[in-house]
Structures are given as structure tokens and as C-alpha cells.
Structure 1
């Protein structure tokens, strides 16, 4: 077998593997969720229990391969001032990137708005999966976004042992 043939086989195999890997990371493990199948809640500050949250125009994705693949975009009719008085705010929100094809969710923009105080993050549900919280960020104009985020169970500084 000549060196060129062997090099060509390696290059073709590498390209095919790269395409397959890209597809699995960006498309294969995500599924769109029908709006009626998305149940959004917010934790009430006085009861510490999740309550149903009315959202409109829901677009959502999730993946079965990881509990932190959930992302959602929607609108809220409730004002952020009323929400701040009623629901538990989230102390350290960190929106996670969504695949590029889910273009309503821009983690960098949401993160910047949270840092600047243009949006407020709330606890949607504590431990929606073991060690994972659902976070909901709401803008004053009603735009809202949700994602799953690792909670204090997985903090590097946590003194709790991982199970």
C-alpha cells in the first residue's frame, strides 16, 4: 500500500469521523419539545414550593443524554417587579450555550443582561434532576428564558461529598 493511499484513507476517515462527531454534539442529542409539554414553575418565596408559571410562545429543546441540555424561550405577562416580590430569585445564574440552530436562546446576551441588571433570574425548580436546578430569567419587556444549571451539590467549594 502506498503512502498516498494510506494518507488519503486516514484523511477521509478523519473527515467522516469529524462530521459524525459534530452532528451528534449539535443535533442528535437534542429534541424540540412541544409547547404543551413544557411545564414551567417558579418557587414561591413564602411557601418555598414551586407554582405553575404561565408562559406564552414557548420554544424549547431538551436532550436525554444530559440533565442540563434543557433550554426554553418564551414570554411572560407578569412584571418582573411582581415576580421579584413573589418568587425566589436565583443567586448565581449562568446561562449555558444552546446549539446554534436554536437561535432564540443566546447565552452570552442573557448572561450580560443578568450581570447588568437588565434581567432577573428566578428559581424555577430546585433539583429538577439530582444536583440540577431550573433557572428562569425574565426581562422587563416580558421576554424570558429557562435552562438547567448545576447547583451547589456540584460546587468546587462544596464540602458535601459527591454521590
Structure 2
């Protein structure tokens, strides 16, 4: 009995499975979003240009966007908006190059980048965060909030959380 064909078939299966797994983890389900001209931040609109974003229906945490605040808008346009609590940009897929989570987090920590809460519980349990630097560059992402953490952990909701939606 020759084992070479069996070994080659198994190796081929492993390569195909690995490639499919990689594609589903890094490329599948994402949709590109461009052409956005304004972002809503707590009921106000912020005009933007050069918007490049990705999102997916499979998880609220897949939202990432990069943009520039439109010319003619004051650099301190976000000053009237409440700062986000513990803004933590999540790493984007490697092919979405404009969103460097480490650089954004470092800028937030050091101070030149300001992160604000754009919308709370949209969808339930997730906050949409917008950050902008003094040079007019901006980024947007979603992160889980205390209501979402409690809900997904099966714990009682903290004070101030709306009731969790029924499945």
C-alpha cells in the first residue's frame, strides 16, 4: 500500500483549509464604505472628506474608519463633545492600512489626539468613538461598553443602562 497519495491529499486539504480559514478571518464579511461626507456625533454633524471605512454585519466591533475633517471646520470642532471613557481602538485587518490602532492609542494617551463619544449603545452594548488629531485626521471605531459587558457576561446591568433588547 502506497501512502504518498494519502499524504499529498491530506497536505492539500490542510493548505486549502488553512487558506479558507485565513480568508474568513481577515477578508470575508467586511464591506468597504466610502463617499461618506458627514459623521453624526451626539446629534451634531461633522463634515468629513477622504472617508475610508470598513464594517460588517457579523460584529459591531468590525467598524473602522479614517477620514479628514473638512476644510473650513474649526480644528476644535469636537471640543463641545464629551470625551470617551477609556477609548481603546481595536486593531484593524492588516490590509486596512490607514487605521493604525497603536498609533491612535499612543496619540490619545499623549494628548494630541482627542477621542469623543459619538453615540452610546448603537447597537446595544457598543459605543461609537470618534477621534481627531490637530492636523485634521480622524478615526472612528466601536468598542464594547459596561452595559454590553454585563449583558454578554450574564451579570446584572450597571446603573444607567437601558434594558437589554430581547433576542
After TM superposition, the score normalised by the length of structure 2 is: 0.82
1:7-156 residue pairs with structure 2 within 5 A?
7-36=7-36, 40-43=39-42, 50-76=43-69, 77-80=73-76, 82-84=77-79, 86-155=80-149
- Partner-residue secondary structure (3-state), 1:100: coil
For 2:44 and 2:23, how far apart are their aligned partners in 1?
37
Cα deviation for residue 95 of structure 1 reads: 0.3
> Which ranges in structure 2 are unaligned for 5 or more consecutive residues?
159-163
After superposition, give the CA deviation of every residue in 1:61-108 in whole Å (9 maximum; x if it has no partner): 11111111111101123323x522x11110110101111111111111
- Partner-residue secondary structure (3-state), 2:120: strand
Cα deviation for residue 3 of structure 1 reads: 3.3
Q: Give the direction of change, closer, same or farther, for the CA distance of 1:39–1:137 in structure 2 (3 Å limit).
A: same
After TM superposition, the score normalised by the length of structure 1 is: 0.84
Matched residues, number: 154
For 1:154 and 1:130, how far apart are their aligned partners in 2?
7
> Please, what is the CA RMSD of the aligned residues?
2.2
- Partner-residue secondary structure (3-state), 1:145: strand
- List 4+ stretches of structure 1 deviating above 6 A: none
Q: Is the 8 A contact 1:88 1:122 kept in 2?
A: yes
Q: Is the 8 A contact 2:124 2:148 kept in 1?
A: no
For 1:154 and 1:136, how far apart are their aligned partners in 2?
19
- Partner-residue secondary structure (3-state), 2:61: coil
- Partner-residue secondary structure (3-state), 1:20: helix
> Which ranges in structure 1 are unaligned for 5 or more consecutive residues?
44-49
Higher relative contact order (CA 8 A, sep 6+): 1
Cα deviation for residue 159 of structure 1 reads: 4.5
